[in-house]
């Protein structure tokens, strides 16, 4: 059975579901910053993406000559985590490899998601340990959906400096080696028209590693520091009142991939008995 774990530091509060270790609420005062998951639109809140981000071509990959099938974004988001440790303002959730994961991902691992509240900041850390006897391959990412009750077109994404906003294009759910451009700018006003046409905006290797979601009429804002991620993805659905701001260490497959996981776009590796930590912060 899953349960909801709530942490607070007296300034902000957060609630995490042990199913998927998914952040389902983040409040400062009475304002709910996380999309509340209307199943008629999109039932997610902030799924964790592991051990892949995005879609695999034909939902499969090849390791040591064998095919494995793995659904988009991997299995962490639909796995039951264990609450490993908790304080008033922090909690750590643990997922270990098991018989079910080994059927689709033949590596032993420990995956921890730690959420900590410090002043006006939520720090999210993903801690991956290789308990396998060989090198493991993986990607990891976040998929937080931020509530935009007025609709996204009253909001902008503002970077700390001007960026050449080159978007990597998709054919269906897969990268196609093509790009389009939003120009050189520090501000991207959000528009619904971007998403039916492109599905997702994919900005690879931005110079700045901070972006602020601003509600232009009121100045309400929330800042995301994604120093630990290589790529930033932006997604919503037509007319939906949320915007996903997604730091990824990984990418979807290309349309012409041969499926070899060792050559997958954005793949990471970790040696036996080694641990890596990837983090991002949400700042009020």
Instruction: Enumerate residues 6+ apart whose C-beta is below 8 A from 112.
Output: 84, 92, 93, 94, 95, 125, 126, 127, 128, 129
CATH code of the domain containing 244:
2.70.98.10
SS (H, E, C) 162-211: EEEEEEEEEECCEEEEEEEEEEEEEEEECCCCHHHHHCEEEEECCCCCEE
pLDDT score recorded for residue 112 = 98
CB 145 within 8 A of CB 47: no
Beta-strand pair 268-270/136-138 = antiparallel
pLDDT of 198 reads: 85
Total domains in the fold of the chain: 1
For the stretch 200-250, pLDDT in tens is: 999 998 999 999 999 999 999 999 999 989 999 999 999 999 999 999 999
262-273 CB burial, b ≥16 within 10 A, e <16 = eebbbbbebeee
- pTM for this prediction: 0.96
Query: In this predicted structure, what is the pLDDT of residue 1?
Result: 87
Domain that holds residue 135: 4-283
| pLDDT tens digits for range 31-62 | 999 999 899 999 999 999 999 999 999 999 99
pLDDT-flagged residues of the chain (< 70): none
């Amino acid at each position: 059975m899953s349960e909801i774990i709530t942490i607070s530091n007296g300034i902000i509060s957060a609630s995490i579901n042990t199913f998927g270790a998914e952040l389902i609420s983040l409040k400062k005062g009475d304002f709910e910053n996380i999309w509340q998951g209307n199943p008629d639109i999109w039932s997610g809140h902030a799924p964790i993406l592991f051990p892949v981000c995005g879609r695999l071509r034909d939902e499969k990959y090849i390791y040591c000559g064998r095919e494995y099938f793995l659904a988009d974004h991997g299995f962490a988001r639909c796995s039951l985590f264990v609450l490993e440790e908790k304080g008033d303002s922090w909690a750590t959730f643990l997922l270990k490899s098991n018989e079910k994961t080994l059927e689709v991902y033949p590596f032993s691992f420990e995956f921890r998601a730690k959420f900590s509240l410090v002043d006006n900041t939520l720090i999210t850390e993903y801690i991956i340990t290789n308990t396998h006897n060989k090198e493991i391959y993986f990607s990891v990412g976040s998929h937080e959906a931020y509530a935009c009750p007025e609709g996204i077109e009253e909001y902008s994404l503002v970077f700390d400096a001007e960026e050449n906003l080159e978007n990597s294009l998709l054919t269906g759910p897969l990268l196609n080696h093509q790009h389009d451009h939003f120009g050189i700018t520090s501000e991207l006003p959000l528009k619904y028209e971007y998403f039916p046409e492109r599905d997702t905006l994919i900005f690879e290797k931005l110079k700045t590693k901070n972006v602020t979601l601003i509600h232009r009429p009121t100045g309400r804002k929330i800042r995301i520091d994604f120093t630990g991620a290589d790529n930033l993805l932006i997604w919503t659905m037509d007319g939906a009142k949320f915007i996903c701001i997604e730091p990824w260490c990984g990418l979807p497959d290309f349309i012409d991939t041969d499926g070899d996981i060792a050559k997958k776009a954005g793949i990471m590796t970790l040696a036996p008995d080694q641990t890596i930590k990837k983090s991002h912060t949400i700042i009020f």
